[in-house]
């Protein structure tokens, strides 16, 4: 009997899924919540409080502690991790980890009688890690673009214009803010390649899926771009691990994990990727056709691309598809956390966002509209100190709960619909994933706004599942299409079909929403 393990180090949690590819079963799912399980890091949503200039960081020791805790929980359930034949996984995209020269020796000499955090933390040349929510690097983006001759050139090479949360601009900001600590940095990993390195006890590469989220890779030749690297920070390429295909086998599971958690010395580690590219595979959307909307901490929309084309407005991205070729991605920073803020401000519950709660108001919300951004947004790029509400007096005062709930959701998904037109991709069916995807009210609004069937998969946790499926393919030679057929089937009872009366209402409302957005949005902080 052999198992495959998939891991997911996302914004708010570190999760796992264990599958048996021969019996076609999910054996176990486990999760460590940073906020609930590791409160000592004072990061209720997985990150430290945002600074006034828009910096958002996480403590990488928290990730290490969560890694040990996650594996300990699986082991404590009596699951035999010695059966794991292959492992892969994903990290939240763009986040970066900064290590001094001692990292290489520490990595090779991990001892099972001590924790990962105790052994690795002394190697951090930057004690906190900037994550994807950081919007503090507008100046650095402009400098990188200028040095390349404009946004269009950065986008043509890297698949995206220079973007605040992308790793290159973040590295440049670090170099400018603390040149000594940058000089003391021997290796910069992404969250994904950092975890893969630990697991293998040796340096793991950055894969094409996550590497494209850095504004540093040439996505046509799949190599670090000299000009982009020079425009970012001195001597940068030597501080980066190599850029490799997502299917690269890094090695076998390190002795630390064998001794501590019972892994076999033969278990193979496949390069990790970003959470969105991993979810593409976990949703069975590796080949063009299925559009995925992920409703995690951020909301994202992504799909495998038939041809590599970029967003003329500069909000969307092209990443490597872990199965080869390319994928598109749009990220909306005001996802679940914005829904939670609206919910809490109204004293509401998720039931108010579900089908029954929404039944009190009609599609189009009697003209009540909301731009539901709290602070910075990335699609479109800009900022609002508070959401903008336009409509009836009681609504604008937050006194009409059902109307505010509907306006929040309609605003989020009208914004998503408007900014995904450049993909020019048929969306006859959409697969939803992420924490909020279980909410049928949200699924209904997505179906009606996009005019497409919406389904959910039978297996939840598509990011970790994507890791397991990729590991099965790359390390065990299993057939990707067969794995997807088995593990990525839509749950037949979950399909929500669009209401043909509602979609035309939303097409018209999208124009009004766009006007309000253009009038209201302020430049990035």
Which positions touch ligand ADP (CB under 6 A)?
10-13, 296-297, 336, 339-340, 350, 353, 434-436, 438-439
Task: Name residue, tokens 């269009």.
Answer: 152
Question: Which residue spans within 392-435 are E strands per DSSP?
Answer: 429-433
Residue number with CB closer to ligand ADP (219 or 358): 358
Instruction: With both helix axes pointing from N to C terminus, report the angle between 440-450 and 401-418 in degrees, rounded to the nearest 10.
Output: 50
**Closer to ligand XUL at the Cβ: 262 or 435?**
435
Residues 159-178 that bind ligand XUL (CB under 6 A): 165
Task: Enumerate residues 330-349 that contact ligand XUL by CB under 6 A.
Answer: 331
Q: CB-wise, 296 or 357, nearer to ligand XUL?
A: 296
Distance CA 520, CA 446 (A): 24
Question: Using CA atoms, how far apart are residues 470 and 323, in angstroms rounded to an integer?
Answer: 8
- Least distance (Å) from ligand ADP to the CB of residue 43? 12
Work out which of 13, 15, 55, 92 binds ligand XUL, going by CB under 6 A: 92
Q: Which of residues 280-299 bind ligand XUL (CB under 6 A)?
A: 296, 298
What, of ligand XUL, ligand ADP, none, does residue 439 touch, CB below 5 to 8 Å by kind?
Answer: ligand ADP
In the complex, least distance from residue 387 CB atom to ligand XUL, rounded to whole angstroms? 21
Count of residues interacting with ligand XUL (CB under 6 A)? 16
Closest distance of CB 299 from ligand XUL, Å: 8
* Choices 40-48, 102-110, 270-278, 447-455; region in contact with ligand XUL by CB under 6 A: 270-278
Are 71 and 89 contacting, i.e. CB atoms less than 8 angstroms apart? no
Strand partners, 376: 383
Do 216 and 167 touch, CB atoms closer than 8 A?
yes
What's phi and psi for 363, nearest 5 deg?
-55, 135
Q: Are 331 and 315 in contact (CB under 8 A)?
A: no
Q: Rule CB under 6 A: which of 41-70 touch ligand XUL? A: none
Choose the contact partner of 331 out of ligand XUL, ligand ADP, none; CB within 5 to 8 A by kind: ligand XUL
- Which is nearer to ligand ADP, 14 or 174 (by Cβ)? 14
Nearest alpha carbon to residue 381 among 419, 417, 335: 419
* 43 vs 197 by CB, closer to ligand ADP: 43
Q: Which residue in this structure is represented by tokens 């909000």?
A: 315
What SS3 state is found at 170? helix
Which of residues 275, 311, 352, 400 is near ligand XUL by CB under 6 A? 275
Q: Which does 319 bind (CB under 5 to 8 A by kind): ligand XUL, ligand ADP, none?
A: none
Using CB under 6 A as the binding rule, whether residue 94 contacts ligand XUL is answered as: yes
For 256, counting Cβ atoms within 10 Å of its Cβ (0-12 exposed, 13-18 middle, 19+ buried), the class is buried
Cα R_g (the chain), whole angstroms: 22
Q: Least distance from C-beta 45 to ligand XUL, angstroms?
A: 12
Among 16, 93, 129, 170, binds ligand XUL (CB under 6 A): 93
Beta bridge partners of 14: 9, 32
Interstrand relation of 453-456 and 429-433 (parallel, antiparallel or unpaired):
parallel
Overall residue count recorded for the chain in this entry: 525
Per CB under 6 A, which region of 89-97, 197-205, 390-398, 483-491 contacts ligand XUL? Answer: 89-97
Which of ligand XUL, ligand ADP, none does residue 353 bind (CB under 5 to 8 Å by kind)?
ligand ADP
Strands 129-130 and 57-58: antiparallel
N-term to C-term CA, the chain: 54
Taking the C-alpha atoms of residue 79 and residue 86, their distance in angstroms, rounded to an integer, is 15
Between 13 and 170, whose beta carbon lies closer to ligand ADP? 13
Give 97 or 267: the residue with its C-beta nearer to ligand XUL. Answer: 97
Interatomic CA distance for residues 146 and 388, integer angstroms: 33
Which C-beta is closer to ligand ADP: that of 189 or that of 339? Answer: 339
Q: In the chain, how many H helices and how many E strands?
A: 21, 25
| 167, interface contact from ligand ADP, ligand XUL, none, CB < 5-8 Å by kind | none
- What residue ranges bind ligand XUL (CB under 6 A)? 10-11, 92-94, 132, 165, 213, 274-276, 296, 298, 300, 329, 331
């Amino acid at each position: 009997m052999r198992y495959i393990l998939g891991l997911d180090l996302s914004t708010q949690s570190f999760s796992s899924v264990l599958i048996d590819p021969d019996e076609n079963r999910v054996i176990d799912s486990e999760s460590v919540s940073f906020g609930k399980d590791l409160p000592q890091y004072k990061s209720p949503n997985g990150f430290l409080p945002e600074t006034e200039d828009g910096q958002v960081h996480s403590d990488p020791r928290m990730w290490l502690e969560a890694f040990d805790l996650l594996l300990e929980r699986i082991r404590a359930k009596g699951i035999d991790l010695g059966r794991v034949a292959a492992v892969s996984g994903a990290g939240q995209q763009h986040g970066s980890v900064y290590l001094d020269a001692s990292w290489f020796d520490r990595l090779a000499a991990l001892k099972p009688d001590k924790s990962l955090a105790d052994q690795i933390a002394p190697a951090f040349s930057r004690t906190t890690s900037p994550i994807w929510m950081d919007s503090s690097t507008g100046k650095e983006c402009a400098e990188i673009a200028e040095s390349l001759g404009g946004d269009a050139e950065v986008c043509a090479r890297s698949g995206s214009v220079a973007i605040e949360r992308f790793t290159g601009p973040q590295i440049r900001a670090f170099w400018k803010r603390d040149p000594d600590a940058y000089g003391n940095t021997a290796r910069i990993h992404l969250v994904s390649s950092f975890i893969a390195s630990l697991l293998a006890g040796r340096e793991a590469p950055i894969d094409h899926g996550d590497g494209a989220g850095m504004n540093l890779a040439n996505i046509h030749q799949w190599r670090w771009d000299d000009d982009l690297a020079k425009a970012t920070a001195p001597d940068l390429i030597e501080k980066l691990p190599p850029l490799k295909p997502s299917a690269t086998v890094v090695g076998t599971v390190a002795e630390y994990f064998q001794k501590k958690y019972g892994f076999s010395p033969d278990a193979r580690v496949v390069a990790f990727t970003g959470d969105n590219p991993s979810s593409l595979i976990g949703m069975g959307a590796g080949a063009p056709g299925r559009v995925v909307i992920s409703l995690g901490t951020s909301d994202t929309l992504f799909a495998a691309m038939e041809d590599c084309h970029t967003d003329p407005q500069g909000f969307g991205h092209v990443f490597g598809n872990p199965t080869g070729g390319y994928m598109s991605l749009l990220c909306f920073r005001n996802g679940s956390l914005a829904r939670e803020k609206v919910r809490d401000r109204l004293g509401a519950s998720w039931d108010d966002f579900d089908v029954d709660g929404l039944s009190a108001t009609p599609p189009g919300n009697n003209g009540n509209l909301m731009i539901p951004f709290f602070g910075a947004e990335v699609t479109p790029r800009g900022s609002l100190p508070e959401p903008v509400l336009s409509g009836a007096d009681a609504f604008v005062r937050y006194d009409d709960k059902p109307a505010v709930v509907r306006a929040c959701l309609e605003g989020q998904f009208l914004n998503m619909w408007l900014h995904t037109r450049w993909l020019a991709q048929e969306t006859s069916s959409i697969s939803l994933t992420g924490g909020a995807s279980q909410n049928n009210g949200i699924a209904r609004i997505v179906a009606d706004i996009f005019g497409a069937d919406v389904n959910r998969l039978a297996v939840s946790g598509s990011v970790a599942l994507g890791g397991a499926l990729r590991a099965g393919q790359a390390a065990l030679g299993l057939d990707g299409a067969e794995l997807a057929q088995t593990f990525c089937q839509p749950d037949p009872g979950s399909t929500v079909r669009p209401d043909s009366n509602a979609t035309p209402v939303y097409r018209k409302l999208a124009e009004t929403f766009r006007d309000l957005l253009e009038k209201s949005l302020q430049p990035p902080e």
